[in-house]
Each structure stands twice: as structure tokens, then as C-alpha cells.
């Protein structure tokens, strides 16, 4: 393939050189004559492991046909002579934390002017990290304005976030954890897949905004992991525990700790362990004069998740609410610190007419281990329990799905469209075919 790469910093330089290494004809584009001259001399404009040797090979070595990689300051020439352009320019922060997209805007304008001179279909791929909506609001608008042509007809657009770490970016380029392609149209996605023919990694085809958001989800999680480990380390040191031994053992757990478990958006956490243990560790840190802002923020954020649901239900204007699930998760009768109990108590306080279905809690009310808890702590709630799921459907104007009970499928099939469903746990993998009154807490 013939590919142009705009921006020859870390991402652009590595992308251009590695794509040339696997056999593509690549033109690197940059406003800096120094960077362009260095590459055309077979030298790297960045300090990065292995990249100097690769650039020398693809520019000057006899191992490759001449012209696998060259650089220019002329964007029009680069677009005219290629079929796909990668935008790899910087997106630094403004003082208020917003992104400075001037370089992206200018780059898209330059590419658009080049597309104006072409008759064949050209695909523009954003690799620069940008907030969701940036491709649509900045890149596509600039391309259409500068080219005088229409997206999806004359040119295509895709988002392809990079997962390159400085110092290991060459290795990361050839061994990505996944390849994400957010495509405007199928033609653009197929051409990008062709460009990556050499990769052996999971491939996800999605929409552009999802692809834009992916990079932020990843980077924010990485930042949270570093901060979490540091705060655990600070607490460990204050009590004479080797934090590296703790975290080495922590990382052995790939069922819960280092896994997809707990990483699905939904309702608040609860139960007899997580809230109690967070409070205890925060108390320990405070007692030892250790500041752990991340750990302190977790319970506060959890409370906000509950309050947002209460507010949404009250704001809906309904008076009759049915709740499916009362224990903190399905398959148990444990009501200790259940966020659903907190939710129901708040709705009762707001004057709403509540009915609840939870088969396990109903049994526990009669003979279970939690009978005393129910009788002493929440007798006012236990009287609202019904043994029939259909009672909930008939009673409520809005049904809250609080956990993944077996009976939820019956609810989804039998609730009339005029009634609302508020799902806190994403009970259905696909949202297709659900009633018009369906809404998810985070989706």
C-alpha cells in the first residue's frame, strides 16, 4: 500500500518506519525541515530503541527497495501519491485541561486540499489522541470544507488509536494488545485492515466515537493503577509491610484483580466486604498521617452513583416503582450495605409507591440466615416484597432492574412499551428489540 503519515514525532515516526519495514511505501510529512532531512538521510529524529536501525534500513539499506520511506514538507504531494493518510500530530493540553487541536485542524485542512486534487477514494485515519466527537467536529468538517467533497462518497475517515509506550514503541507497534478501528464506512475500515495485514492481534471494528474513547479509558485506567499501587505502598510502609511482596501476590490473581471482572459499568458496589474494608484501610492511613486521595474517593464516587439513580427516578415523575432485586448482587440474600436497600429507602422517603421482587430475600425473610437482619433493620422494606414477578409488572410505571435475577428475562418480554425500564446491570448483551421505555444507567 501507499501510505502518508502526517506528523513525525514519536507516534508518526514509529508508525511510518514500521509500516515501511513490513513492505508499505510510506511518505512521512512534517512542517519541520530538520525532521524531514534527518529521515531522508536515514537517521531518526527521535530517541527510541530500534527505530534508528529501522529508518536506516527502509531509507538506505540494500535490503529494501529504494523509496520504502521518504519524507517531505509538501502535504499535497503526499496525499496525491498515496491512498491512505495517517494523522499523527500532537494534541497537547490547554491551560484549562481542554485539548489544543490546532495541529489536527491544520493537518486535516492540508489533507483536504490534497484530496481536492484527486479523483480516487482517499482514506484519512486519525491516530492522534482526541476526545470523542473530535473526528466528527474537527477532522471531517475540515476535510469537507478544504476538499469541497463529501465523506463516504469521495473520501473515507477512520479512527485508529495507538497503544505505543515510549522506549518500547517499536515492540508495541508489532505486538499490540489489540487493534481498534473506528470506521465511518466499511470501505475505510477494510483499507485499514489491509494496512495491518501483518499483525497477529485481536481486531475490533467499531464506530468512531467508541474508538476515540478507548484510548482515554486505557490511559485513565493505567494512571489509576499507578496511583492505586502507590497509595497501597504508602500505607504498607507506614505499618512496616513490604509493598512489593503485597503487590506481587496481588498480581497472581487473574480471576478478579487482573481481569475483566468488576470492569463493566453499572450500579454501585455493596455487600459485607468492600465498603467495610475501604473504610478500615482509609482509617489506617489517616491514623498514620498518610494521604490516600484515590482510596478516599472510592466510597464518595460510589455514593454519587446511587444518588444519580435516585435523582433520575424522581425526575421521571413516576409514582409507582417496581424493583427487581434487593440483595447487593444476584444469587444471594445478603442485604448488608446493599445499594439497592439504600435506593429503596430513599424512594420511600420521596413518597413513591414501591413494590420489590427478590426471590432469595423472600425466602430469607422466612427461614434464611438474614431473617434477623430483615426483621430488625429493614422491616418497613420487607413488607413491600412480593413473591410474584408479574405483580411488579402490573404495579409499576417504572421498573428498576437491580440485579441479574433469572426472572429479568420475563420482565423484558412482558413490560408494555408505555412503561419504563431502568436497568442498573445491563441484563441484555444487545439492546436491540428492547421496549422504547428502556434506559440503562451508563449506556
Active site residue 273: yes
What DSSP designation does 295 have? H
Q: How far apart are CA 123 and CA 111, in angstroms?
A: 10
Question: What Å distances lie between residue 284 and 242, 299, 307, 442, CA to CA?
Answer: 16, 16, 27, 33
Non-local (6+) Cβ contacts of 60 within 8 A are: 42
Q: How far apart are CA 438 and CA 426, in angstroms?
A: 11
Q: How far apart are CA 154 and CA 148, in angstroms?
A: 10
Pick from 361, 359, 380, 381: which is nearest to 371 by CA? 361
Q: How far apart are CA 148 and CA 373, in angstroms?
A: 70
Pick from 165, 189, 163: which is nearest to 176 by CA? 163
| Given the residues 220, 251, 273, 442, the one annotated as active site | 273
Q: How far apart are CA 190 and CA 195, in angstroms?
A: 9
* DSSP-assigned beta bridge partners for residue 440: 423
Q: How far apart are CA 4 and CA 117, in angstroms?
A: 16
Non-local (6+) Cβ contacts of 392 within 8 A are: 322, 323, 324, 355, 356, 357, 386, 399, 411
C-alpha cell, 67: 523509496
Q: How crowded is residue 311: how many other Cβ atoms within 10 Å of its Cβ? A: 11
Q: How far apart are CA 430 and CA 412, in angstroms?
A: 12
Active site residues: 273
Amino acid at each position: 500500500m501507499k501510505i502518508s503519515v502526517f506528523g513525525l514525532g514519536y507516534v508518526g515516526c514509529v508508525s511510518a518506519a514500521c509500516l515501511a519495514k513490513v513492505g508499505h511505501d510510506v511518505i512521512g510529512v512534517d512542517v519541520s525541515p530538520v525532521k524531514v532531512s534527518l529521515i531522508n538521510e536515514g537517521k531518526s529524529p527521535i530517541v527510541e530503541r530500534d527505530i534508528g536501525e529501522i529508518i536506516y534500513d527502509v531509507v538506505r539499506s540494500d535490503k529494501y527497495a529504494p523509496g520504502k520511506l521518504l519524507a517531505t514538507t509538501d502535504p499535497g504531494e503526499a496525499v496525491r501519491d498515496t491512498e491512505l493518510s495517517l494523522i499523527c500530530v500532537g494534541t497537547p493540553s490547554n491551560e484549562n485541561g481542554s485539548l489544543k487541536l490546532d495541529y489536527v485542524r491544520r493537518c486535516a485542512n492540508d489533507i483536504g486540499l490534497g484530496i481536492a486534487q484527486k479523483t480516487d477514494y482517499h482514506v484519512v485515519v486519525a491516530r492522534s489522541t482526541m476526545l470523542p466527537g473530535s473526528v466528527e467536529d474537527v477532522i471531517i468538517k475540515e476535510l469537507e470544507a478544504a476538499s469541497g467533497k463529501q465523506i463516504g462518497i469521495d473520501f473515507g475517515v477512520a479512527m485508529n488509536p495507538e497503544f505505543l509506550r515510549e522506549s518500547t514503541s517499536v515492540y508495541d507497534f508489532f505486538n499490540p494488545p489489540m487493534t481498534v478501528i473506528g470506521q465511518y464506512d466499511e470501505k475505510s475500515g477494510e483499507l485499514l485492515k489491509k494496512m495491518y495485514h501483518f499483525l497477529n492481534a485481536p481486531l475490533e471494528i467499531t464506530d468512531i466515537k467508541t474508538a476515540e474513547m478507548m484510548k482515554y479509558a486505557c490511559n485513565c485506567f493505567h494512571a489509576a493503577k499507578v496511583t492505586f499501587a502507590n497509595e497501597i505502598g504508602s500505607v504498607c510502609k507506614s505499618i512496616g509491610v513490604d509493598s512489593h511482596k503485597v503487590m506481587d501476590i496481588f498480581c497472581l490473581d487473574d480471576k478478579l484483580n487482573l481481569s475483566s471482572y468488576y470492569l463493566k459499568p453499572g450500579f454501585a458496589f455493596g455487600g459485607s466486604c468492600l465498603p467495610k474494608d475501604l473504610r478500615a484501610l482509609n482509617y489506617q492511613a489517616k491514623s498514620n498521617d498518610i494521604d490516600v486521595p484515590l482510596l478516599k474517593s472510592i466510597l464518595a464516587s460510589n455514593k454519587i452513583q446511587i444518588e444519580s439513580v435516585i435523582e433520575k427516578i424522581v425526575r421521571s415523575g413516576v409514582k409507582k416503582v417496581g424493583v427487581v432485586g434487593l440483595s447487593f448482587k444476584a444469587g444471594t440474600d445478603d442485604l448488608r450495605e446493599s445499594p439497592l436497600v439504600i435506593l429503596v429507602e430513599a424512594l420511600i422517603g420521596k413518597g413513591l409507591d414501591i413494590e420489590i421482587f427478590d426471590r432469595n430475600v423472600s425466602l430469607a425473610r422466612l427461614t434464611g440466615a438474614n431473617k434477623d437482619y430483615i426483621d430488625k433493620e429493614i422491616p418497613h422494606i420487607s413488607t413491600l416484597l412480593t413473591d410474584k414477578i408479574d405483580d411488579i409488572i402490573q404495579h409499576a410505571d417504572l421498573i428498576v432492574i437491580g440485579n441479574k435475577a433469572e426472572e429479568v428475562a420475563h420482565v423484558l418480554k412482558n413490560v408494555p412499551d408505555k412503561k419504563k425500564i431502568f436497568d442498573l446491570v445491563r441484563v441484555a448483551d444487545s439492546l436491540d428489540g428492547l421496549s422504547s421505555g428502556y434506559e440503562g444507567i451508563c449506556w
